[in-house]
Amino acid sequence: MNSVTTATVSLGGVTIGLGILAWHLTKWWRTGGKGGGPGAPGGGRDPKVLLPLLSSMSLGMVSITAAGGLIGTAATFLLNTGSLVGNWSLVSLTGTATPEVTRSGLKALTPGGCALLAIYFVVCVALWKSGAKILKGKIAAGVIAGVMLGLSAGFSGVASVALVTITNTVGDKITGVVL
């Protein structure tokens, strides 16, 4: 059984993650979900435009639960850096304290879940390498936001628990891991 990550997230890190999500959702809402400028033709907001951001957020959320290896270590480094920058920003802008807001009862990835994470990572890297500049930006922003939000005690942390559970179940089924 894999061990659970020892990473923690501060209010500053969660603020960075929510800020990235808010930025992209605001742009999506403002452009009518078409990727064009304000007042882009075609009413309605196409949720498919959000897929690169949300799918890469999922990758970030699951990556931060990896207890080690290259993916887990890189995600932890990104989380620590984001928390440091977020803490500095919150203290500088608002003067508030920045407590840890890591949820209790973290879930661990199973061996099959880890295999699926590695496959998902390869898919996202392939999409990033073959994509246009705007797609690369959405994927990078999504991974950063996912890492920042994945251990949160708030709603995003609940989403991360669901994603880890799904990743473990699907990964175990696909790879044939029996625990």
Tens digits of residue pLDDT in 97-152: 899 998 887 788 999 999 999 999 999 999 888 888 888 999 999 999 999 999 99
Closest CA to 6 of 110, 106, 85, 81: 106
What is the structure's pLDDT at 5?
A: 72
pLDDT given at position 42: 46
> Measured between alpha carbons, how far is 54 from 101 in angstroms, rounded to an integer?
22
Question: What is the band of 33 on the pLDDT scale with cuts at 50, 70, 90?
Answer: low
Q: What is the pLDDT of residue 35?
A: 54
31 secondary structure, DSSP code: T
| Residue 139 phi, psi dihedral angles, 5° rounding | -65, -45
Q: What is the mean pLDDT of residues 65-85?
A: 92
Neighbours of 155 (CB within 10 A): 9
pLDDT for 31 equals 80
CA dihedral for 178, 111, 14, 36, sign (positive or negative): negative
Per-residue DSSP letter, 112: H
Average pLDDT, the chain: 88
- Give the residue extent of every domain in the chain: 11-35+44-174
* pLDDT above 70 coverage of the chain, percent: 91
User: Average pLDDT for residues 80-93, to the nearest whole number?
Assistant: 95
Residues 6+ apart with CB under 8 A from 143: 56, 57, 59, 60, 63, 78, 124
